[in-house]
């Protein structure tokens, strides 16, 4: 320790030591600040990508719902007691998109209120009626069909609003 005192006994040497220490501290602070900025930017880019994935999954969900209703309508709402089977591919897309949205919201956007039960296929009554081959008067079938269409529109609105909120927050 005495050698350290002897080395910096001169005022100019002491000034050199102080300038080296200040430079080192500034360099460390610059590196830490740069790392913080880079990690924030990377997180923001990740979250923007997840919002895009969520938006794609929500569009896939809406398309699958519309496809199921369109197929039912082509088969005829008056013949609900006849054989009607969901398109398994479309149902897989619908369920896959719900799972994707649930995973993204659960992992990245926990503060958002996303409930997969709100988007389950059973929320479209006309599909349940047709799948169970129930016979209904035309008026009741039309009401169930309208409820199903309303579910799709409400779901689209909710999912669009969710994505818009996330875009504003992270975009």
- Model confidence at 151, pLDDT cuts 50, 70, 90, reads very high
pLDDT at 61: 96
Q: Could you tell me the maximum CA-CA distance found in the chain, to the nearest angstrom?
A: 104
Q: How far is CA 132 from CA 10, 84, 118, 127, in A?
A: 96, 8, 21, 8
The pLDDT of residue 159: 96
pLDDT of residue 133: 66
Give the total residue count for the chain. Answer: 171
Inside any domain, residue 75? yes
User: What percent of the chain is predicted at pLDDT more than 90?
Assistant: 54
Please write the tens of the pLDDT for every residue from 116-148: 999 998 888 887 777 666 666 667 778 888 999
What is the tally of helices (H) and strands (E) in the chain?
Answer: 5, 0
Residue 124: inside a domain, yes or no? yes
DSSP 67: H
What percent of the chain lies above the pLDDT cut of 70? 84
CA distance 76 to 99: 30
**Residue 154 belongs to a domain:** yes
Q: Is residue 11 part of a domain?
A: no
- What is the mean predicted confidence (pLDDT) over 138-163? 89
Is 74 a residue whose pLDDT tops 60? yes
- Encoded tokens for 38: 């880079």
Tokens of 122: 């059973």
Assess if residue 21 is contained within a domain.
no
User: Which range of residues forms the domain containing residue 52?
Assistant: 47-170
Confidence grade of residue 16 (pLDDT, cut at 50, 70, 90): confident
pLDDT band of 55, cuts 50, 70, 90: very high
Q: Is residue 138 part of a domain?
A: yes
Please tell me the predicted confidence (pLDDT) of residue 59.
96
* Mean pLDDT, residues 85-105 taken together: 91
Rg (CA), the chain: 30
Q: Say if residue 101's pLDDT is above 80.
A: yes
CB 46 within 8 A of CB 109: no
How many structural domains does the chain have? Answer: 1
Cα–Cα distance for residue pair 75/89, rounded to 1 Å: 18
Predicted structure pTM score: 0.78
Q: Is residue 30 a part of any domain in this protein? A: no
CA 150/CA 157 separation, integer angstroms: 10
């Amino acid at each position: 320790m005495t050698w350290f005192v002897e080395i910096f006994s001169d005022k100019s040497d002491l000034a050199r030591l102080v300038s080296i220490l200040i430079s080192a501290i500034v360099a460390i602070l610059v590196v830490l600040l740069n790392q913080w900025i880079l990690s924030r930017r990377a997180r923001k880019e990740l979250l923007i990508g997840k919002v895009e994935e969520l938006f794609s999954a929500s569009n896939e969900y809406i398309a699958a719902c519309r496809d199921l209703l369109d197929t039912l309508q082509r088969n005829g709402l008056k013949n609900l007691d006849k054989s009607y089977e969901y398109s398994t591919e479309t149902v897989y897309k619908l369920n896959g998109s719900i799972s994707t949205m649930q995973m993204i919201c659960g992992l990245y956007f926990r503060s958002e209120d996303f409930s997969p039960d709100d988007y389950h296929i059973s929320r479209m009554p006309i599909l349940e009626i047709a799948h169970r081959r129930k016979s209904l008067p035309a008026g009741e079938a039309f009401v169930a069909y309208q409820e199903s269409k309303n579910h799709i529109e409400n779901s689209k609105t909710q999912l669009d609003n969710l994505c818009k909120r996330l875009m504003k927050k992270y975009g």
